[in-house]
Chains A and B, each alone.
Chain A
Amino acid sequence: MGRYVVRRLLQMVPVFVGSTLLIFLMVNVMGDPVAGLCGERACDPATAAQLKREFGLDKPVWQQYLTYMGHLFTGDFGTAFNGQKVTELMGTAFPVTIRLTVVAILFEIVIGITLGVVTGLKRGRPVDTTVLLLTLVVISVPTFVTGLLLQLLLGVKWAWTRPSVSPDAPFGELIVPGLVLASVSLAYVTRLTRTSIAENKRADYVRTAVAKGLPRRRVITRHLLRNSLIPVVTFIGTDIGALMGGAIVTERIFNIHGVGYQLYQGILRQNTQTVVGFVTVLVLVFLVANLLVDLLYAVLDPRIRYA
C-alpha cells in the first residue's frame, strides 16, 4: 500500500509539470496582455515596456515558465494585474467554490444514488423509464440554459430564492447554483448507479443474503449498494476537479466569486499568473482525487489490494 502510494505520487510529478506547462503555453498563445490594460487606446511604450519587465513578460516563454515554477515551490503564485497576490485571490475564491462543490456533490450523492437505486431495482417499470428520460433531457440541455431558466423562474418569477449569490456565499444561497452545477453529473450518477445495481441484483451474494432471510433494506444497503458503488465513487471522485474548474458558466450566471469567476476574469484579462496559478491547484486536486478514488476501491472491495 505504502509503496503503491509513493509510486503514484511520483507519477504525479511529470503530469503536474506537463499540465502546468501546457496551460502556461496556452495562456501565452493569447498574446500580449499589456495591450488590454490601457483602456480603449494604446499604452505609452515606456510604461508598457516597464510593465512587461516587471511581470517578466519580456523573457522567452521557457524562461518565464522556469521562473514561475521556481517561485511556485516557494509558495509564491505571483501577482495579478490589479496588484493582488494570486494566493490572496485563491484565499477568497477557493472556500466559495469548495462550498459550491460540496453542495453539488451532496446532490449527486443523495438524489443521484437514490434515484439510481430505485430505477435499478425497478428496471423496465414506468418509474425507471420516466427517470431515464428525465436524466437524458438534463444531460442534453446545456448548463447555461438550465441555469438561466432556473434563475428566471425561481429567482424572479416565483421569488423563491435569490437570483444571485452574495459575496459571503453561505450554503443556503448555493443550493440552486449547486443543483445547476450538479445537474449533468447527477443524471450520470443516476444512470451509473442504476446500471450497476441492475447488474449486481442477480449476483449470487445477493441471492444468498435474501435466502438467509435478511430484511430487504439491509440487503440493499449492505450488500447490493456497497458492491455497486465502485463505478459511482470513481465517477464522483474524479468529478470533483471537473466541478471546481468547470463552474465557470454556473458561477457567471449566479454571480459567484469563486474559482470559475477568477479563471474567467483571468482569461479575459490574459492574466497568466492568475490562470496558471488556479489551474495548478485544480490539477493537484484532480491528481489527488484520482489517487484517493483508487485507494477507496480497497475500502469498498476488500478483494483489491495494492501492492
Chain B
Amino acid sequence: MRGVTRARGAVCAVALALAATGCGGGGSGGGTAGAVLSSSWGDPQNPLEPANTNEVQGGKVLDMIFRGLKKYDPRTGKATDMLARSIDTDDSRNFTIRVKPGWTFSNGEKVTARSFVDAWNYGAGLRNNQKNALFFGYIDGYDKVHPGTGRQTADTLSGLKVVDDHTFTVRLNQKFSSFPDTLGYAAFAPLPRAFFTDHAAWLRKPVGNGPYMVASYMKGAQMSLRKWDGYPGPDKARNGGVDLKVYTDGNTAYTDLMSGNLDLVDDVPAAQLKNVRTDLGDRYINTPAGILQTFAFPYYDKAWDKPGTEKVRTGLSMAINRKQITETIFHGTRTPATDWTSPVLGVAGGFKEGLCGKPCEYHPDEAKKLIKEGGGIPGGQVRITYNADTGSHKEWVDAVCNSINNALGDDKACVGNPVGTFADFRNRIGQHKMTGPFRAGWQMDYPLIQNFLQPLYYTNASSNDGKWSDKEFDELVDRANAESDQTKAVRLFQQAEGVVRDHMAAIPLWYQNGSAGYSERLSDVALNPFSVPVYNEIKVG
C-alpha cells in the first residue's frame, strides 16, 4: 500500500486545481455566446505541462484546455467517464482502458490510446522533471523510469501497452481498486504529438483537447483562452472565452472587479469579505470546498512527542475560539471544524460532524487546566509557523494566538512566526526544523475519507509533515483499505480518525469554502468542490 500512499500524496498537490472541471450538462444557450470574460489569475509556478503542474493557477488552465479519461463532477466531485468508454479489470491490478472514438485535439490530431501512453511515459520519466511524476508510481516499471537515485534505465513504463488505436492496458505493481477514479487528474491527460516534436512551441501556446484553446499567452501577464468550436465533448463552453489576468495582490484584483475592469475574482481576500454584500450583492458565492486547515506538530521534536503532550495539544485546541475567528476574520467563508475530514464528503462518504467533540470546542478554563496537566507548553511559548508571502495567513494566525493568549491569561503564550517565503517554509518542514505547531492545509484529491487521513497521518506518508506515527491508526487504515464494503470501510476510517482525536495529532481549525465575486455581466457562476470556477458553464451578458 505504500506506493499508493505516496502516489496519492502527490495527487493531492494538484487536486485543488486540476480536478476542477466543468459539468456534464450540454449547452442550452443563453447570453452572448461569443462574449469573453476576464478572470483573476496567478502566474503559474511551473511550465504548463500536465504532469508538471501542482498548483491552482496552472491547474485552472489545464482544466480548461484538457479532458482526461475521467472527469470530476463539479457539484459532487464524483469521477465520471469522459474520454473513457470503459475501464475494466478482473483483479484490480490489470486494467483495460477503451478510449471513445471521435475525440481530437484542437489542432485536429486524433486522441488515441497512444496519446495517453506517450503522455504518461513522459510524465513518469525522471529526466523530464515532472513534479507530479509520482502519479504514475503504481504503474509497473515506474522504478526503472523514475528510480529513487541515479539515472533512469528505461524510457517507457513496462506496465503500459497499446493494444489498438483506442485501447490500451495498464498493469499496476500492486492491487489498487480505485485506480480508475484517479484518472481525472490533469497529469493523466492525453498529449498531442506536437508536445513531443516541438516542445518549446507547445509551451508557448499549449494545445489540448478541452473546451477551450489558448489564443495567446503573454507569460507573467495574461492568457487568452477562446472557445474551441470543434470541441466534441458534452461540456461545451457557454461563453466565447476567458482572459486570465495575472494579479500579484488579491486586493488589487478585487478593486478591479469593483471598478468594472474584471469579471471574476475566484478568491475574495479576507480583508474585503466584510464588504462583499454591499459591493456585489448576490454576485458573491461562498460554497463548501474539500479543504481543511489544521495545525500540525513536529513529532520529531522530543518536546512534542512526550506522553502527556496530547493534553497540551488538546488544551491548545480548546483555547481556540473557532466560531469567533471564522465569523470575524473570515466572515463565514470558513466553518469551525468538528472532525478531520470535510462536509463535502457527505455523511455517507465519512464526514461525521462532531466526531472531535469537546476537544474542538472553545473551553478556555479547561484548556488552561489541560495544558497545565500536560506539563505546560514546551519551551513556555507556542510559536505558530506560517509563510507570510501567500494568502492572508497572518491575520488568522494572530487571531488564533490572541485567542490562546486570552484563554491562558498570558499575553506571550502564543506568537505567530512568519517565514518570508513559501519555499523557505517547505524547506524548514522538510529539514525537520519546526519547533512548534505549523500551518497545514489539506485539499482533497477526491471525496473519500481515506484521502483526508492516510496521506497525513499514516506512518511516513507523503504529507505526514509532522512525522506522527501510531500503530493503532496504521492498522485501522490498512484494514479499511482492504475492506471492499464501503460502509464498513468508512466506519473503520472513522475509528482511525478517533485515534487521531485521542492523540490530537493535528488540531483541526476550520473547513474552508471557496469564495468568488463576479460582475453584472456574468451568470451561472459556480465553484466546484475544489474551489475553482466552472468556467465553461459561465454565461456572459
Contact = CB atoms under 8 A, between A and B. Distances in A.
Q: Do chains A and B touch in the complex (CB under 8 A)?
A: yes
Interface of A: 30-33, 35-47, 49-51, 54, 81-84, 88-89, 92-93, 151-152, 155-156, 159, 162-164, 166-167, 251-255, 257, 261-262, 264-265, 267-270
A42 B430 contact: yes
B179 interface: no
A41 B12 contact: yes
Contacts of A156: 255, 258-259
Nearest to B246: A257
B219 A46 contact: no
B46 A82 contact: yes
A89 B220 contact: yes
B274 interface: no
A169 to B, nearest CB: 9
B424 A39 contact: no
Contacts of B153: none
A82 B42 CA distance: 13
Nearest to B463: A41
B54 A167 contact: no
A292 to B, nearest CB: 30
Given A82-B43, A252-B248, A41 B10 contact: yes
Given A36-B421, A38-B13, A81-B46, 11 more contacts: A36-B425, A36-B426, A39-B13, A39-B14, A41-B463, A46-B148, A50-B126, A159-B259, A164-B247, A255-B253, A257-B221
B422, B462, B465 interface centre (most CB from chain A within 10 Å): B422
A167 B45 CA distance: 19
B131 A167 contact: no
Contacts of B222: 167
A42 B131 CA distance: 10
B127 A50 contact: yes
Contacts of B55: 39
B486 interface: no
5 contacts: A40-B463, A50-B127, A82-B47, A83-B46, A164-B261
A177 B127 CA distance: 44
A31 B424 contact: yes
A270 B421 contact: yes
A154 to B, nearest CB: 10
Nearest to B421: A268
A90 B390 CA distance: 24
A167 B218 contact: yes
Contact of B430 (A35, A83, A151, A159): A35
Interface string B243-260: 001111100110110110
Nearest to A92: B220
A270 B256 CA distance: 29
A54 B129 contact: yes
The 10 A-B pairs at the shortest CB distance, nearest first, are namely A36-B423, A83-B47, A39-B13, A167-B221, A35-B426, A35-B427, A163-B255, A39-B54, A255-B252, A270-B423
Contacts of A43: 131
Contact of B248 (A39, A93, A264): A264
Contacts of A262: 220
B375 interface: no
A243 B353 CA distance: 55
Contact of A162 (B13, B218, B259): B259
A81 B258 CA distance: 33
A39 B126 CA distance: 18
